[in-house]
Amino acid sequence: MYAMEKITKSLRKLPLISSALILLQFLTFVVSAAESSIVIVGGAGVNCIEDPGCINRLHPDIPMATRAMPGQTILFHTRDAGDVLGTVASQTDQQPGNLSTEFGHVHPMTGPVYIEGAEAGDVVAVTLTNIDPGRYAWTNGGSGGFVRDLVDGQRQIIWRLNRNYAESDDLPGVKIPNGSFPGVVTTLPGAEQLQNMLAREQALADAGGRVSLPFAGDADPAELCGINGSAKNECLRTIPPREHGGNMDIRYLQAGVTIYLPCYIDGCGLAIGDVHYAQGDGEVSGTAIEMSADVWATTEVLKDGPRLTHGPHFEGSSDLLNIPSRRFYAVTGFPLKPAGSVPPDMAYLKSPIIADLENLSNDINLAARNAIAGIVDYIVETYGYDRQQAYVIASVAVDIRIGQLVDAPNVGVTAILPLDIFEDK
């Protein structure tokens, strides 16, 4: 402010043209200074493996890509979940065709960033300030995701994006409002946390549960996590979220929200990726509207932050909790099933009791499954889409919400479909 006052007084004494030139030079200097205060991470190379600012595994020994001061703006050039679209800057007017994703590439994360002054035991508050979507995105629907046994075949949707909505020739008559957010916001695990996570996930895998164990193929950084890496059997996959954050896929983590993450190592190791243009609560097909994006964020180091015993916390405007539609249609689900059947996620228990029952006690998973099956049926019967298309719509637009957890044995889940996404209905 003082410098600007001095310049203003000096300009009054000069001819108009000279004053304008001096003012332009000053503003150029201010803009350049502001840009230099932004820490930029990621964006080099054609994919994550070529990008020194990108990783797709989690381990405490992963080197930091860059450093940032608390309060300093960090610009993350992120890549889509399958690492097939390139960064925002690399995309052209040419719409991509069918995209093939390799499971080993999931999820590219931009970072990690060393937050100056942060120590193990601190909490880092990450505030998302802006998200710029790329031009295109994709969603897969079909025999995958939450109710993978109820939808046959596979369908991929290619979306065109702008700042307001996503649309696709593969889903005529549907426009999905922009609700951009990063699916992955994470810090790096510490050595102790890493060993605990590896042990418990291996135990679950040994019992027959669904787990994504360490996998060296296409791992990045390769020298640590790859096939010949020094810790190839210890680098965590990014599929599940954990206490450090990670693949939380919470659609309310939009610009303006602050996320509280634990620092398990000095500097925290902040990374962001898997940005979604839109997603329904549940992401039931296993994918949302998957895009590359540029994400701006700032951080604050808290020496006496919230106790994150069970996982990250977040806060923001209550406006983000609203359904982006004037009208909706909802389907309810309860933990009911035909006798003799076993829900796929319970098959590993090999329990004859589960098979014989028609009603499971307080099973939120089965209740959600039934709500999703009902809303998929409704979309097919009411709007004429096939089941794969309906499954995609459910994944990118339908919210899965808990109605109640106390009315034993039938806890209740609702699947809420925003009706304004349908243009001609």
Report pLDDT for 13.
52
Do 199 and 289 lie in one domain? The reply is: yes
Do 221 and 155 lie in one domain? The reply is: yes
| Residue where a domain terminates, one of 271, 286, 321 | 321
Rounded alpha-carbon distances, angstroms, from residue 399 to 7, 159, 245:
55, 20, 21
Report pLDDT for 8.
47
pLDDT tens column, 239-248 = 999 999 999 9
Close Cβ partners of 167 (under 8 Å, ≥ 6 residues apart): 159, 160, 174, 175, 176
Q: What is the CATH number of the domain that holds 384?
A: 3.10.28.20
pLDDT tens column, 263-272 = 999 999 999 9
Among all chains, which residue has been given the structure tokens 């300009």?
11
Could you tell me the sign of the dihedral formed by the alpha carbons of 171, 175, 127, 129, in that order?
Answer: positive
DSSP designation for 245: E
- Counting every residue, how long is the chain? 425
Mean pLDDT for 171-187 is: 97
Mean pLDDT for 191-220 is: 94
Do 344 and 248 lie in one domain? The reply is: no
Show the domain range for 117: 39-321
DSSP H or E segment with residue 396: helix 387-397
pLDDT tens column, 298-335 = 999 999 999 998 889 898 998 888 877 888 898 889 89
| Residue where a domain terminates, one of 286, 321, 356 | 321
Report pLDDT for 298.
98
Per-chain mean pLDDT for the chain: 90
Do 163 and 101 lie in one domain? The reply is: yes
Least confident of 3-17, 224-238, 348-362: 3-17
The rounded percent of the chain whose pLDDT value lies above 70 is 91
In angstroms, rounded to a whole number, what is the distance separating the alpha carbons of residues 273 and 55? 10
Q: What are phi and psi of 385, to 5 degrees?
A: -80, 155
| Residue where a domain terminates, one of 321, 342, 366 | 321
Taking a C-beta distance cutoff of 8 angstroms, is the pair 312, 81 a contact? no
CA 311 to chain centre: 16
Report pLDDT for 106.
96
pLDDT tens column, 3-58 = 444 344 444 555 555 555 444 454 444 444 444 599 999 999 999 999 999 999 99
pLDDT category, 373, cuts 50, 70, 90? very high
Report pLDDT for 404.
85
Of residues 187 and 144, which shows the higher confidence score?
187
* 192: exposed, middle or buried (Cβ count in 10 Å: 0-12, 13-18, 19+): exposed
Do 47 and 143 lie in one domain? The reply is: yes
Report pLDDT for 16.
53
DSSP designation for 348: G
Taking a C-beta distance cutoff of 8 angstroms, is the pair 139, 290 a contact? yes
Do 201 and 288 lie in one domain? The reply is: yes
Do 29 and 43 lie in one domain? The reply is: no
- The candidate with the shortest Cα–Cα distance to 315, out of 300, 332, 333, is 300
Mean pLDDT for 359-383 is: 93
Report pLDDT for 25.
52
> How many domains does the structure of the chain reveal?
3
Q: What is the CATH number of the domain that holds 214?
A: 2.60.120.580
Report pLDDT for 279.
94
Do 220 and 355 lie in one domain? The reply is: no
Flag whether pLDDT at 215 surpasses 60.
yes
Flag whether pLDDT at 408 surpasses 70.
yes
Among all chains, which residue has been given the structure tokens 């200097």?
29
Flag whether pLDDT at 281 surpasses 50.
yes
Do 225 and 351 lie in one domain? The reply is: no
Do 19 and 44 lie in one domain? The reply is: no
Report pLDDT for 68.
98
Do 187 and 74 lie in one domain? The reply is: yes
Do 406 and 295 lie in one domain? The reply is: no
